[in-house]
Amino acid sequence: MSGYARLVAAVSSSAVLLLAMLLPGTSSAGGNTPVPVTFGPNIDLNVNNVPQRETTVAVNPKDPKNIVVGNIDRFSSRNTNSFSFTTDGGQTWTLGGLVPLENNSDMAQDPALAADTDGNFYYSYLDIKQHRTDVVAAKSMDGGRSFSTLSVVHQSDPSLEVPDKDYIGADTWPGSPFLNNLYVAWTSIELVGYRIMVAVSRDRGITWSNPIAVSPATSSNNEALEGALPVVAPDGTVYIFYADIVFVTGPTSIRFSRSADGGRTWSKPAAVASSLPSPGFFRLKNDDPGWDTTYPLGILSSTLPTAAIAPGGGLFVAWVDFSNGSCANDGSISPPCTNADVRLAFSKNRGKTWSAPVKVSDETNATDQFFPWIAIHPDGLLSLIWTDKRLDPNNINYDVFYTNTFDGSTFLPNVRVTTTTALSGNLQTRIGDYNGMAVSADGIFPAWTHMVSGTPDIFTAVGHFVK
């Protein structure tokens, strides 16, 4: 498959206009036919024998064989984030180490990775102290071998706010006027209500702008805004997607705000999908016998969005809800739910209107699918992964499955990524809170939490197109 840019160079201006009408994705392979994929061996990245979870993945745009995976390491005394890297397209991996912290006694969580066009990697996360949580970002200039430079994105005021759930995005589109801008977004949990905040770096992570609110504050702590995810379009417009959650039974809405001036001003939030049947945060069945009666037993999951933007400008957003399932109101912040499904919506007009959400998995039983992640290839193909319990009739243990689509409507028959079914664990062996994936022109690089014994490990595999 040739890249979108090469295709555009080869056609006339009238054909370019026609091509743009094929949004959200644009196929250079002809039509909207999904592309067959096979996955190689599953590779365990855990070499320090500590429980791991929450994956994030980034590919070097300058060298697509250089990939970095980040995750949480759960040591006996604290949580912190680590990273591994590969320089051969995911065939072999090396543990890079632990992320830098403001103080050696601090903890870290909520890992997120991005890369710029020069091949620098950026790793955002929460730096947690005894009385304060800061949003920070570390930089690697050696392909993910080390993250030695740390900058403070936002130093919080603990009397007013607690930052939560950061994520980082990078502008890597050649035609963007804001090329290599970095955007870190997070939730500000305040004395009354929640807000989505963003800070911008215009000098490759050296300094950061003052935070800007991209959403109004909610009027009470019974409505949460969580899961802020910055994603950049080819023209440099940056979108921040997030979940608007009504505690404790829902509904949940997926919203976004966008900036056309490099993050200086932001649009009024609009909806991708409103009043979804989900409590926002929920727990799914695992090995805990009382998962459905006792909080916080069960797999903790959420309806936080994952999003990607195609070379033609089409927007894709995926999440989990219970359109075919059900939840029980047990009074907890994360009620027990069953039959979770991953859904996808797309927009052809910069978010003015959105397609009806569609289920992406082709299983037909009442099992759970959750922890989705999506990413766009250079030719407009959308890859999707998620955690899936379809192979366990008891709806406890799980695998990872994959599909792809150009148009958001026609999907590749689901492909199993995992070679062995993973144990879902219990309260002591958490597997949340999200998976990660990055892609290149010809590669798919998912990373997920996988448990085959008593310790959750980070696994990866390399997917290739069948030509």
For 337-354, write each residue's pLDDT tens digit.
999 999 999 999 999 999
pLDDT of residue 31: 60
Q: What is the CATH number of the domain that holds 100?
A: 2.120.10.10
| Start-to-end Cα distance in the chain | 9
Calculate the average pLDDT of the chain: 94
CA distance 176 to 260: 10
Q: How confident is the model at residue 23 (pLDDT cuts 50, 70, 90)?
A: low
Query: At residue 18, does pLDDT exceed 50?
Result: no
For 177-203, write each residue's pLDDT tens digit.
999 999 999 999 999 999 999 999 999
pLDDT of residue 288: 93
Query: At residue 5, does pLDDT exceed 70?
Result: no
pLDDT of residue 25: 66
Percentage of residues of the chain with pLDDT beyond 90:
90
How many C-beta atoms surround the C-beta of residue 394 within 10 A? 9
CA distance 186 to 197: 5
For 214-234, write each residue's pLDDT tens digit.
999 999 999 999 999 999 999
Query: At residue 13, does pLDDT exceed 80?
Result: no
How many C-beta atoms surround the C-beta of residue 287 within 10 A? 16
Query: At residue 334, does pLDDT exceed 90?
Result: yes
pLDDT of residue 6: 33
* Dihedral sign from CA coordinates of 95, 96, 101, 103: positive
pLDDT of residue 20: 39
Q: Taking residues 150-175, report their average pLDDT.
A: 98
Percentage of residues of the chain with pLDDT beyond 70:
93
CA distance 332 to 329: 7
For 415-429, write each residue's pLDDT tens digit.
999 999 999 988 878
pLDDT of residue 346: 99
CA distance 65 to 434: 24
pLDDT of residue 426: 86
Q: How confident is the model at residue 253 (pLDDT cuts 50, 70, 90)?
A: very high
CA distance 408 to 386: 16
SS3 letters across the chain: CCCHHHHHHHCCHHHHHHHHCCCCCCCCCCCCCCCCEEECCCEECCCCCCCEEEEEEEECCCCCCCEEEEEEEECCCCEEEEEEEECCCCCCCEEEEECCCCCCCCEEEEEEEEECCCCCEEEEEEEECCCCEEEEEEEECCCCCCCCEEEEEECCCCCCEEEEEEEEEECCCCCCCCCCCEEEEEEEEECCCEEEEEEEECCCCCCCCCCEECCCCCCCCCEEEEEEEEEECCCCCEEEEEEEEECCCCCEEEEEEEECCCCCCCCCCEEEEEEECCCCEEEECCCCCCCCCCCCCCEEEECCCEEEECCCCCEEEEEEECCCCEECCCCCCCCEEECCEEEEEEECCCCCCCCCCEECCCCCCCCCEEEEEEEECCCCCEEEEEEECCCCCCCCCEEEEEEEECCCCCCCCCEECCCCCECCCCCCCCCCCCCEEEECCCEEEEEEEECCCCCCEEEECCEEECC
Tokens for 267?
């649009």
Query: At residue 7, does pLDDT exceed 60?
Result: no
Q: Which of 17-21, 76-80, 353-357 has the lowest mean pLDDT?
A: 17-21
For 29-88, write each residue's pLDDT tens digit.
346 899 999 999 999 999 888 999 999 999 999 999 999 999 999 998 899 999 999 999
pTM over 0.85: yes
Query: At residue 289, does pLDDT exceed 70?
Result: yes
- Pick the residue with more confidence: 20 or 281? 281
How many C-beta atoms surround the C-beta of residue 248 within 10 A? 18
pLDDT of residue 24: 60
Q: Taking residues 451-461, report their average pLDDT.
A: 92
How far CA 423 is from CA of 288, 302, 431, 435, 441, in Å, comes to 12, 20, 10, 16, 33
pLDDT of residue 77: 84
CA distance 390 to 400: 10
Q: Which of 8-22, 185-199, 352-366 has the lowest mean pLDDT?
A: 8-22
Contact 181, 200 (CB under 8 A): yes
Q: Taking residues 239-267, report their average pLDDT.
A: 98
Residue 393 belongs to domain spanning:
4-465
Q: Taking residues 133-151, report their average pLDDT.
A: 99
CA angle, corner 372, sides to 361 and 166, nearest 5? Answer: 165
Total domains in the fold of the chain? 1
Q: Taking residues 360-366, report their average pLDDT.
A: 97
For 395-444, write each residue's pLDDT tens digit.
999 999 999 999 999 999 999 999 999 999 888 788 989 999 999 999 99
Contact 85, 66 (CB under 8 A): yes
pLDDT of residue 47: 87
pLDDT of residue 22: 45
Nearest Cα residue to 150 out of 103, 96, 198: 103
CA distance 176 to 254: 26
